[in-house]
Structure 1
Amino acid sequence: MKINAIWKAIAVASLVLAGATSTQAQSVEEFYSQNDITMVVGTAAGGSTDFFARTMAPYLSKYIPGNPDIIVQNKPGAGGLIAAAELQTTMPSDGSYIATLQRNNFTDPLLSDERVDFDAREVKHIGSVGKEIYVIFQYPDDPGTTTVEEALNHEMVLAATGSGSANYTYPLLVNALLGGKLKLVPGYSGNEEQALAIERGEADGRAGTYSMTQRGQLKQWQEDGKLHYVLQFALEDHPDLAGVPNVFDAIKDDETRRIFRFMLIPQGLGRIFSAPGDIPEDRLAALREAFVQAAEDPGFIAEMERSGAEAEYTTGEELQEIAEELMGTPPAIVDRIKTLISGS
């Protein structure tokens, strides 16, 4: 009886080992022809991140060997951190699960006073699409600012949502670090309410993404000659904003430069697609290559342009370097940023 039990155990172990070897030997195309991909979106359906995910999904599937179906699953909460934490800790790492991340997920672990169970260095990034830059614009009078000095000395009342939002934080940093003369009026619920406040004369303008000014009511303002850019927040000047002063032109010292760089790098992250940290290297390489091909697909680019979104992309390898840079920011710089933001 004991001998039979031993032989049975050996047989079972052999089958398990054979199965594991077979799985390890499975090609990327074989794996994805037999398995769908679940794409977890860390925001609610209908928002901009959800739009990017659902638009990207069929193009990504087109270029992944095996052409798996990609099933989008929304899991909103905590500014995308619920999905981000699951990506890092509990999502299957065989390549059948990927997730979208929010830009703030790269900096929240450093800036938040609460515990954040996510580290952007611990997952593998596939790529991001839809780079953004922020601008300050005025309506309806043309402020006539052609230099950064004129922009900093220009007095404006800016509508904003809340103290934690970029449309409040960026102007705040201009005032605190560069001597700007911007008066911030927070408390507006969103884009539409801010636009109404500007039209009613409660504010002169606001800060927001450049792509936001390329659609809807703001685009109409621009076409009517009523929207005037005062300042751009960009590591490199946006090609469509030639002549608009860049905040970096006003920076004189290294600490201020590092603060603005820390705050502005996430703008270039766009909509981020990532995989668990333990994903097999060959499947990660296939996903990264497929992402670049999808982002360069004329059909995808056309869909981005129709929506008024930027089609420019960042590779997964570049995102890994960005995660390392941001998380490696000296504590003194992080503490200064937190003090500035909390002072809002």
Structure 2
Amino acid sequence: MAERRGTKRWAARALGFATLFALATPILAGAARAQSVEEFYKDKTITLFVGSGVGGSYDMYARLLVPYLSKHLPGNPTVVVKLMLGGGGGLPTAIHMQRTAPRDGTAIGMTQQTIVVAQLIESVAAGKYDVNTWGWIGLMAPIRNMLALWHTAPAQTLEEAREKEVIVGSMGRTSPTYIVPRVLNEIHGTKFKIVTGYNGISGLNVAMERGEIQGRGASWLSVVTATPHYITEKKLKPIVFDGLTREPGFEDVPLLIELAKTEQQKQALTLISSSAEFGRAVFAAPETPADRLAALRRAFDAAMKDPELLAEAKKRQMPIQPQTGEALQKVAARVTKAFPEAVAYARELQGSK
């Protein structure tokens, strides 16, 4: 009798375990199944953090991109732009993306192109971010920065700027608005007085119009798109461009690298000018899951071929010359492995401590 009761108790327990296992199996299976990219991004919001002020070319390119990135991403998440000021060269954006931005694929960045080289050269940037840990998504177009002089400036050419002081505005030390005139002072003997602290292109433009400054840098596209009357009324004139190739339409304006007088200067200026390759580049925060980074890259590539985006870019006179994220990842690795001698002299030219 006791034996039968024990058998029944064992059978009841076995039935209970089997029932629990049957109930738990779907839950365990669901947990084991990885969430797809489409499931993750559905109803999510991606923030594109931009290291630029209102009205500059970075702002314009970012706002051009976001609806098409949303269109081509699985799950069609909302993509919004957030401008981050507080320092030149997009440094706050770089630090935010490295240290505090979400790492789940909902935070992407577009900071100024000098940020890659600044990692090597600028003491204010050293150790605060690592571009090789970012997941590069793609490049919309390279950017050649310039230095242009206001029509009332005491000098109107590079040679005249060696004889007369010209006040130029800048957004900060890691910004090309600082780097280009600083390097010109070092290698060409110009007398540019650089005033830092302006927020964005619009701030620089207002300062020129008020007579606070007599010139500014950044891209010529920022003039074409935001203040075309500067061109038609001949109020602003570029005197030098920073890049590895000539700016279309300005073949007679020298490149910064062409002013090098020694091989040492040429190597350092090649490093500095390589920033152009990271013009309007987009990247994801470190440790973004591989499948989401891949989806962001493919959505970006599709956006760059989207007829509607291309038509809108043409209408706004915004060049589209894309590079893939995989290509940018390799360029970033190559640039950050520059010869120590070139890095040291580039620091000297830019006045980095």
Q: Distance in 1 between matches of 2:331 and 2:54?
A: 28
1:247 and 1:107, CA in 2 relative to 1: closer, same or farther beyond 3 A? Answer: closer
Secondary structure of 2:33 counterpart: helix
Matching residue of 2:193: 184
1:137 and 1:94, CA in 2 relative to 1: closer, same or farther beyond 3 A? Answer: closer
Q: Distance in 2 between matches of 1:9 and 1:261?
A: 68
The partner residue of 1:168 within 162, 170, 178 is: 178
Q: Distance in 2 between matches of 1:154 and 1:263?
A: 22
1:7 and 1:37, CA in 2 relative to 1: closer, same or farther beyond 3 A? Answer: farther
The partner residue of 2:296 within 269, 287, 300 is: 287
AA aligned to 2:136 is H
Q: Distance in 2 between matches of 1:153 and 1:269?
A: 32
Residue-by-residue CA offset, 1:64-114 (whole Å, 9 max, x unaligned)? 234x2224263736645555445445655444x131131244244332246
1:180 and 1:196, CA in 2 relative to 1: closer, same or farther beyond 3 A? Answer: same
Secondary structure of 2:169 counterpart: coil
What is the Cα deviation at residue 7 of structure 1?
8.7
The partner residue of 1:273 within 282, 288, 311 is: 282
Matching residue of 2:209: 196
Matches within 5 A, 1:130-169: 130-140=141-151, 151=158, 155=162, 157-162=165-170, 164=173, 165-169=175-179
Matching residue of 1:61: 70
1:267 and 1:285, CA in 2 relative to 1: closer, same or farther beyond 3 A? Answer: same
Q: Distance in 2 between matches of 1:15 and 1:78?
A: 50
Percent identity between matched residues is: 25
Establish whether residue 213 from structure 1 lines up as the match of residue 223 from structure 2.
yes
For the pair shown, the structure with the greater C-alpha radius of gyration is 2
1:82 and 1:223, CA in 2 relative to 1: closer, same or farther beyond 3 A? Answer: closer
Secondary structure of 1:241 counterpart: coil
Secondary structure of 1:23 counterpart: coil
The partner residue of 1:101 within 95, 110, 113 is: 110
Matches within 5 A, 1:3-82: 18-23=29-34, 26=36, 28-29=37-38, 31-32=40-41, 34=42, 36-43=44-51, 46=54, 48=56, 49-66=58-75, 68-72=76-80, 74=82, 76=84, 79=87, 80-81=90-91
What is the Cα deviation at residue 207 of structure 1?
3.5
Residue-by-residue CA offset, 1:139-187 (whole Å, 9 max, x unaligned)? 54999x9xxxx9557645433224624233212212312x343433536
Secondary structure of 2:249 counterpart: helix
Q: Distance in 2 between matches of 1:176 and 1:317?
A: 36
Q: Distance in 2 between matches of 1:101 and 1:69?
A: 18
Q: CA RMSD in A?
A: 4.0
What is the Cα deviation at residue 291 of structure 1?
0.7
Matching residue of 2:329: 320
AA aligned to 1:126 is I
1:128 and 1:247, CA in 2 relative to 1: closer, same or farther beyond 3 A? Answer: same
Residue-by-residue CA offset, 1:205-241 (whole Å, 9 max, x unaligned)? 4434211221344x22322345443222221112222
Moved more, 243-252 or 37-46: 37-46
Secondary structure of 1:160 counterpart: strand
AA aligned to 1:166 is P
Q: Distance in 2 between matches of 1:224 and 1:75?
A: 30
Gaps of at least 5 residues in structure 1 are none
What is the Cα deviation at residue 127 of structure 1?
1.2
What is the Cα deviation at residue 251 of structure 1?
2.7
What is the Cα deviation at residue 323 of structure 1?
1.8
Residue-by-residue CA offset, 1:271-307 (whole Å, 9 max, x unaligned)? 3322244344343233212212212323323434455
Aligned length: 329
What is the TM-score of this pair, normalised by structure 1? 0.75
AA aligned to 1:76 is M
1:170 and 1:43, CA in 2 relative to 1: closer, same or farther beyond 3 A? Answer: closer
Gaps of at least 5 residues in structure 2 are 1-12
AA aligned to 1:65 is P
